């Protein structure tokens, strides 16, 4: 088992190094840079999908946990269950992905990867090993998603989060769902019409109007998700603390986030994902004739009927999965309070 964990850590570190090196020194065209494929297709949402299907394997693959393994083991000033640092890290990740307008720039992707690495790894040498387990956001997210995998559910585990989870984890999961909803909304034509009406210059990536409108909209979407969690949790009987009830609801709704991510990225996953080996070889051999078509660009065939049907089916499956989870969470916590 140690060998598998060691090999997984090495693989994660190698992928992180490739993202940084390729992003910094590879082509500025994301269609010819493997960093874009690794981050925006294979990692997000690719890993999330696999975790939802087979369980949480991310601790064995996380490059940040592997790099932090050489840090001291003692506990200093940080509790492993706390996730406020992870909330900050994931907020930065979501903003960079959806609101900065720079996520299609390989050089910016490399800098973002380095920034997250510094945020998670460097403090661990002063604070000890609990820091990376607390600050690495994807460990918290994938742990919650993995609780809902069929493997865990069949073993009678997962639907109910462990006790003692606080509002930090609630906010983190709300940010995940809010980011997924916002990403799906901006892919619709009405978003372009709305932006054109409000400020046509906001359609230009990485400009101040673009950043301002996207940042505000992302914040509003996440706030609405948080309010929804609190409202649903307030309807449950008071068998547990409000934070634990809200965590149960937040966890139960995660399949919606994953299904939206998959549906939104399905055209790119199907038609661009297989290009990674060719793009990677072209980068390593400095071949300037690598195939084009950026993962960030719209794929025209996404409107093809089979692909559109698949996207709709995936979204409905996510909604159904979350509905079943919400019923189970309600049963675990004593049902819905009667209102007289």
User: Domain limits at 111?
Assistant: 2-332
**Contact in structure between 106 and 38 (CB atoms under 8 Å):** no
Lowest-confidence pick of 41-50, 207-216, 238-247, 299-308: 299-308
Look at residue 340 and tell me if it is in a domain: no
Phi-psi region of 74 (alpha: psi -120 to 50; beta: other; left: phi over 0): beta
Neighbour count for residue 162 (Cβ, 10 Å): 10
Tokens of 166: 């606080």
Q: What pLDDT is stored for residue 272 in this prediction?
A: 81
For residue 236, the cross-strand partners are 336
The mean per-residue pLDDT over the stretch 77-97 comes to 84
User: How many separate domains does the chain show?
Assistant: 1
pLDDT greater than 80 at residue 301: no
Q: What is the DSSP letter of 76?
A: -
Q: Which residues contact 285 (CB under 8 A, 6 or more apart)?
A: none
What are the pLDDT digits (tens) for 236-281?
655 567 777 788 888 888 898 999 888 888 888 887 888 888 889 8
Q: State the Cα–Cα distance between residues 206 and 83, nearest whole angstrom.
A: 29
pLDDT greater than 80 at residue 215: yes
Q: What pLDDT is stored for residue 239 in this prediction?
A: 56
Q: State the Cα–Cα distance between residues 125 and 336, nearest whole angstrom.
A: 46
Residue with the larger pLDDT of the pair 276 and 323: 276
Look at residue 339 and tell me if it is in a domain: no
Q: State the Cα–Cα distance between residues 202 and 316, nearest whole angstrom.
A: 32
pTM of the model: 0.88
pLDDT greater than 80 at residue 304: no
Look at residue 132 and tell me if it is in a domain: yes
Look at residue 179 and tell me if it is in a domain: yes
CA 48 vs CA 28, 216, 258: distances in Å:
27, 26, 7
pLDDT greater than 80 at residue 160: no
Look at residue 43 and tell me if it is in a domain: yes
Look at residue 323 and tell me if it is in a domain: yes
Residue with the larger pLDDT of the pair 297 and 212: 212
């Amino acid at each position: 088992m140690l060998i598998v964990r060691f090999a997984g850590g090495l693989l994660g570190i190698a992928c992180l190094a490739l993202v940084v090196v390729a992003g910094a020194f590879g082509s500025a065209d994301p269609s010819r840079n493997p960093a874009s494929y690794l981050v925006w297709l294979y990692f997000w949402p690719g890993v999330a999908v696999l975790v939802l299907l087979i369980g949480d394997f991310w601790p064995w693959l996380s490059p940040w946990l592997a790099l932090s393994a050489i840090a001291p083991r003692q506990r200093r000033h940080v509790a492993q269950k706390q996730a406020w640092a992870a909330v900050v890290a994931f907020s930065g990740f979501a903003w960079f992905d959806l609101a900065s307008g720079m996520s299609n720039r390989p050089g910016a992707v490399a800098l973002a990867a380095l920034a997250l690495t510094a945020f998670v790894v460097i403090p661990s040498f002063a604070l000890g090993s609990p820091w990376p387990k607390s600050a690495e956001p994807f460990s918290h997210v994938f742990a919650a998603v993995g609780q809902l995998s069929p493997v865990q559910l069949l073993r009678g585990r997962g639907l109910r989060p462990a006790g003692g989870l606080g509002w930090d984890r609630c906010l983190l999961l709300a940010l995940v769902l809010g980011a997924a909803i916002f990403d799906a909304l901006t892919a619709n034509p009405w978003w372009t019409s709305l932006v054109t009406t409000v400020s046509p210059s906001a359609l230009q990536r990485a400009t101040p109007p673009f950043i301002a409108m996207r940042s505000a909209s992302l914040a509003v979407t996440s706030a609405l998700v948080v309010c929804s969690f609190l409202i649903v949790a307030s309807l449950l009987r008071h068998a547990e603390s409000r934070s634990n009830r809200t965590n149960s609801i937040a966890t139960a709704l995660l399949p919606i986030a994953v299904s939206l991510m998959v549906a939104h990225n399905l055209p790119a996953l199907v038609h661009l994902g297989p290009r990674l080996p060719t793009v990677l070889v072209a980068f390593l051999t400095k071949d300037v004739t690598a195939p084009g078509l950026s993962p960030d660009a719209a794929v025209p065939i996404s409107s093809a009927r089979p692909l559109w049907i698949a996207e709709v089916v995936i979204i409905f499956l996510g909604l159904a999965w979350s509905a079943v989870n919400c019923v189970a969470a309600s049963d675990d916590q004593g049902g819905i309070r009667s209102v007289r």
